[in-house]
A and B are shown apart, each in its own frame.
Chain A
């Protein structure tokens, strides 16, 4: 007989705390009560008063005893008093089933090939059969995260289904977290803690700091034997070449997890066509990096395959999506196209078309329109650069027309003016605009702005003078200014794209020094934001499932194709003393009986009897006893 919830000291302290107020209330309830009444005549007339001179003994001791016994029994029920030995009580076990990516590795012969996951499921089912029927069990699927598949359950078919539905994930095992989770769940459970069972090969993400110290005492290992002879892709990354925008630099990393050197072939295909092949000799337990170059302007899928395949094929193949090279169509309406041709055509990824002003058609052009000193019948429906527009059709009102003025300064607080330093310019003739408060004054003379940018549905930049006919023609500021304007109007044109294939789980990325944390966005495939942290110039985010994640930082974008499985880094050494193999549980649970139902019933009956005998129903009971006393002589007489 033992307490499940409370120790004996706790129980006695609790019973004392409850019984003392009960006794005090009992004595208070039976103490003499002073009462003011309207008259004493009926009290005297009702009966001869029985004056209690001294109250040396407890009145109605049976009432007090019944109350105390009733509360004692209820308290024993709360303490879950059990009949039997503590070892025979039902327990709560936690089964940690390894569902890391490595569990998809195959073992066995080629004719009867099974995965580590199949083996782990079989061991889990065997453990389930070995556990006594009264014990409860929680199934926890463990990879980088510990995810409970069931609560503490005694429903065996439900646990069987949960085991059958467990499949390998995409991340490596974090065993410490899973063990801590299991211990916490057992501590929160009102039942007695049973075993924590780990089923798996023990391949963990990284070397634990002190796995032996953190191993719980009730840990049991059901090991799954694996073969480490595996090699695979660790990472693939592509980015546009800095020198040639049509050229992709491709980087691949291959790791040999096994114990023998391997000679493998890494083959690249783009859109099904071969893109490169490289033979590699990878020493055991080390990585090999290799780089490729591939020229294409088209978008498509770049696939990397390691040959020959091994027992774990998931990391032998990776796919990357190469984005399309963005282009910008610029239509220049000018009767003197040679003025702007050198400046516009020098910008990469810009396709410029020069047309006379008589061929102007509003709304037929996509991209950017440059209107050089003419009045279009209808304004363009899109982004436009107006150069010295006529006064009456200028998108920004003209304040005045000036001649022989000196250029004063460039704006300093906007990206449109980045790098513009040219001074001492002389303008033979220019318009001065009446800029709105929200307009960006790019360049100004003493009397006002002469180059104005206006944001809105369509972005517009207005020049008060033709730069190719002014002193600006010979300055570096001219191509720089047009470059800034195009970057402002079509930022995607200048976005630096990169792509990488890596494993799901924790992803770390180094940001450029000029990137501010507030400019960073991490988006999942469906466009929703993914939480991330930045520490210095290091960005970290976690993705537990394979997929595509886009990291946008200012004008740079990196597409992560998290399709490679995250594999183990180390083998967890089982500490000495940890139990292994299937357990032999005692089968004497029949001797462990719950008594709380009976105790609660008896306690309730005791309190009910006290209430009936001494409580509100006392008068009724007295009348009943009186009737019985009337009946009993008759009964005796009849007998």
Chain B
């Protein structure tokens, strides 16, 4: 029987962290990130003209007495923003005898725990060709155990289809929020356009690209008979050091494209190699990119 995804000592270290997002979202009070949208907060934000139907309690009567015009006071709110976490369960995540997938699950579990500690509401949904049935959790750290069980029981299967996944996601989650995608983003049809759709719809993207060393720098040389893990397509070629350098360069270029897409849409991108320790990723790359702090 395999052990837990994350050790208790590591979870204790995560308790001081908080998930942050950059965009302003509408929502009810109760969150921990300020929003440019007005709401029922305590801190003054702005004035606007009174319209019929507005709450009379928010009218600035002093301004009305002086100017004989009704202005409405608006207050800043820290809304509760839904956090969604999509985890890739396609066959391409099965590299290094499944270690890449385990690594991605550990990363997802750590982010879930950080959110739960700060009373965020998190929806975890696996995906490959379709969006899988997810798990909705919230309410504190003591609700983490079901999440861990859920992630532990996930298995890889099928090929990735970002277009279909994005379509289903947008149709099932109309409320904007933070969208964390933990994946290798290896889709033969390309994942840039579907991700752009998500950004255009108003979600804030946090792309966590997980790769194993053999994904980025294949260790094999010579005559290779390659089989695509998702499509079973075959390719025979001779692979040498020069080809390896070209391969790595193409991979890095693809990762840079993803990063550019995320930044262009106000989101963030974190590239993660499975050769690094989870702790180094959480307290290193993710903290530096202000995903969590």
Contacts and interface: CB of A to CB of B under 8 A. Distances in A.
Contacts of B246: 45-47
B271 to A, nearest CB: 15
Main SS at interface, chain B:
mixed
Nearest to A42: B250
Interface in A20-65: 29-47, 49-52, 55, 59
A79 B214 CA distance: 44
B12 interface: no
A33 B223 contact: yes
A42 B247 contact: yes
B229 to A, nearest CB: 5
B227 A36 contact: yes
Given A37-B228, A38-B215, A43 B235 contact: yes
A180 to B, nearest CB: 60
A575 interface: no
Contacts of B95: 38
B236 A51 contact: yes
Contacts, number: 99
A41 B253 CA distance: 12
Q: Most chain-B CB neighbours within 10 Å: which of A36, A37, A59?
A: A37
Interface in A219-242: none
A618 interface: yes
B247 A35 contact: no
B238 A37 contact: no
Interface residues of B, number: 35
A54 to B, nearest CB: 11
A619 interface: yes
Q: Most chain-B CB neighbours within 10 Å: which of A29, A43, A618?
A: A43
B254 interface: yes
A52 B241 contact: no
B251 interface: yes
A233 to B, nearest CB: 89
Contacts of B225: 32-35
B284 to A, nearest CB: 24
B172 to A, nearest CB: 27
Nearest to B212: A38
Given A46-B246, A47-B243, A49-B235, A40 B223 contact: no
B230 A39 contact: yes
Nearest to A55: B223
Given A32-B236, A49-B237, A50-B238, A37 B226 contact: yes
A295 interface: no
A554 B173 CA distance: 109
Interface of B: 92-93, 95, 184, 186, 188, 212, 214-215, 218, 220, 222-230, 233, 235-238, 241-244, 246-247, 249-251, 254
Q: What 9 pairs across the A-B complex have the smallest Cβ distances?
A: A49-B237, A46-B246, A46-B247, A38-B92, A32-B223, A619-B241, A39-B186, A45-B250, A34-B225
Interface of A: 29-47, 49-52, 55, 59, 618-619, 622
Given A30-B223, A35-B218, A46-B247, 14 more contacts: A31-B223, A32-B222, A33-B220, A33-B223, A37-B214, A37-B227, A37-B229, A38-B212, A40-B228, A40-B235, A43-B237, A49-B236, A51-B237, A619-B241
